[in-house]
Amino acid sequence: MNATTRTIAVKTATADYPVIVGRELFAEIPRRMRLGKTRRRVFALTSPEIWSLWGRQLQAALPDSAVPTVLFLPNGERYKRMTEVERLATEMAKAGADRASLLIAFGGGIIGDVGGFLAAIYMRGIEYVQVPTTLLAQVDSSVGGKTGVNLAAGKNLVGSFHHPSAVFADIDVLQTLPERELRAGLFESIKAGIIRDAALFRFMEQNAEAIVRREPAALERVIGASIRMKAGVVGIDERETGLRMILNFGHTIGHAIETATGYRRLLHGEAIAWGMLAALRIALERGTVGPDQVERMEKTIVAFGPPPPFRATADKLLEAAGRDKKNRAGKRRFVLPKGIGDAMVVEDVTDAEMEAAVGWILRRCLQQKRRGAAM
């Protein structure tokens, strides 16, 4: 299997842009964005870490007339805030950014969310491209146009829809990604397979080792299919009024775990892995999926982890799940698989079902901890 460049079109009511997946893609940026042909200022938002790893390569790919002014955002979720957006906008203004300027968001999901938001509001909106450097950002956050920042009151509470003009998902940059980050992102790809792409699920089930070893062809297959799934869903339901909700599979309980553990213990994808395991218990009890299929899904999730154990009380998790922002008008929306590659949104998950599912994952955390301590 050879790695080849794939292009996936994102077509929504308000946007139409390509997501390009492949190797050595930085060279595609000036070609696709017609840099060098027109005189426009280019800004790159990145973190010092990512810039020191990959900045030289990015810079080398851009023509002399488009040498980027580099804007830095320190690493970490605590910098995904309005104060940073204001600081960055001020830096852009001082450096002469105008409405024709192009912003390159070059980093993980945090850089992508802040960069997208900055581009959405600077002079009421400038063009930007995403160059995602984590697996999570490539398969999830760079596609779909959601941008924004956190408030002290909660995550992603301020933001806007602002699609990039293109996404360049270069798999070479993933070679430097810490393994834990890679695995965490892959849980979102398993999610993609479970909710809408049985072939992707089967590929991940059968090729876990090659994927985690970052074999380019295997990574490209997984990333391409994950993006295609998300692009398809976003194309049908850009604003999350219907179908897009299925992307929240594993996220009701996953978000509750993140809240209950103060966002410190687990990476987002790891919390989602636990959330998917919990949702699978509910699906199993209801019989929306057969036991054989549940077992295959569980095994595959565990094969890409297992997600690390965490400590929280059932009460705290249930309380946090009750407050999940995906709840509308007091109803708890919950995504359940209907099989491998198909999912549905239900509103009638009971407290008892939630308790049983949460109890099950907490017991599993304990078992994992004991096993870890015994080794």
Ligand X SMILES: NC(=O)c1ccc[n+]([C@@H]2O[C@H](COP(=O)([O-])OP(=O)(O)OC[C@H]3O[C@@H](n4cnc5c(N)ncnc54)[C@H](O)[C@@H]3O)[C@@H](O)[C@H]2O)c1
Smaller CB distance to ligand X: residue 68 or 109?
109
Contact between 194 and 343 under an 8 Å Cβ cutoff? The reply is yes
Residue where the block lists tokens 């830095």:
72
Position 192 contacts ligand X (CB under 6 A)? no
Answer yes or no: are the C-beta atoms of 277 and 361 closer than 8 Å. yes
- Helix 268-286 × helix 179-196 angle, to 10°: 30
Q: Does 137 bind ligand X (CB under 6 A)?
A: yes
Asked if 77 is part of the footprint of ligand X (rule: CB under 6 A), the reply reads: yes
Which DSSP symbol is given to 137? Answer: I
Whether the CB-CB separation of 13 and 238 falls below 8 Å is answered with yes
x/- string (CB under 6 A) for ligand X, residues 32-71?
---------------x-xx--x------------------
Task: Respond yes or no on whether the N-terminal peptide bond of residue 337 is cis (omega within 30° of 0).
Answer: no
Distances (CA, A) of 100 to 69, 103, 126, 135, 172: 14, 10, 7, 30, 30
Name which position in 75, 160, 207, 327 contacts ligand X (CB under 6 A): 75
Our CB check for ligand X shows the closer of 3 and 137 to be: 137
- Name the 3-class secondary structure at 305: coil
Q: Does 238 interact with ligand X (rule: CB under 6 A)?
A: no
H/E stretch holding 194: helix 179-196
* Separation between Cα atoms, residue 129 and residue 167, nearest integer Å: 6
Binding mask 148-177 for ligand X (x = CB under 6 A): --------x----------------x--xx
> Least separation, in Å, of the C-beta of 263 and ligand X?
10
* Minimum separation from the CB atom of position 116 to ligand X (A): 7
Query: Looking at beta carbons only, is 75 or 368 nearer to ligand X?
Result: 75
Smallest gap from residue 111 Cβ to ligand X (A): 6
SS3 246: helix
Rounded to a whole number of angstroms, the minimum distance from the CB of residue 2 to ligand X is: 23
Instruction: State in angstroms the smallest separation of the CB of 255 from ligand X.
Output: 10
**Is residue 110 part of the contact set for ligand X (CB under 6 A)?**
yes
Residues 279-338 that bind ligand X (CB under 6 A): none
Strand partners of residue 127: 102
Nearer to ligand X, 261 or 360 (CB): 261
- Percent of residues in the chain assigned helix, strand, coil, to nearest 5: 55, 20, 30
**Residue choice 91, 181, 342, 353 for contact with ligand X (CB under 6 A):** 181
Q: Which of 287, 307, 258, 31 is nearest to 166 (CA)?
A: 31
Q: Which residues are catalytic?
A: 124, 146, 188, 230, 240, 244, 248, 251, 255, 268
Q: Which one of 130, 134, 189, 248 is in contact with ligand X (CB under 6 A)? A: 134
Among 40, 41, 146, 255, binds ligand X (CB under 6 A): 146
Could you tell me the two tokens for 73?
A: 């955002």
Smaller CB separation from ligand X, 80 or 191: 80
Residue type, 77: E
Among 6, 40, 41, 80, binds ligand X (CB under 6 A): 80
The CA distance from 281 to 298, in Å, is 10
Q: Tell me how far apart the alpha carbons of residues 140 and 223 are, in angstroms, rounded to a whole number.
A: 9
- Least separation in angstroms between CB 3 and ligand X: 17
Choose the binding region for ligand X from 103-111, 282-290, 306-314, 323-331 (rule: CB under 6 A). 103-111
How far is 137 from 312, CA to CA, in rounded Å? 28
Minimum CB distance to ligand X, residue 85 (Å): 14
* Cα distance between residue 103 and residue 177, in whole Å: 23
**Piece in contact with ligand X (CB under 6 A), picked from 37-45, 60-68, 102-110, 329-337:** 102-110
Residue listed under structure tokens 């104060």: 83
# chain residues binding ligand X, by CB under 6 A = 27
The footprint of ligand X (CB under 6 A) covers: 47, 49-50, 53, 75, 77, 80, 107-111, 113, 133-134, 136-137, 140-141, 144, 146, 156, 173, 176-177, 181, 268
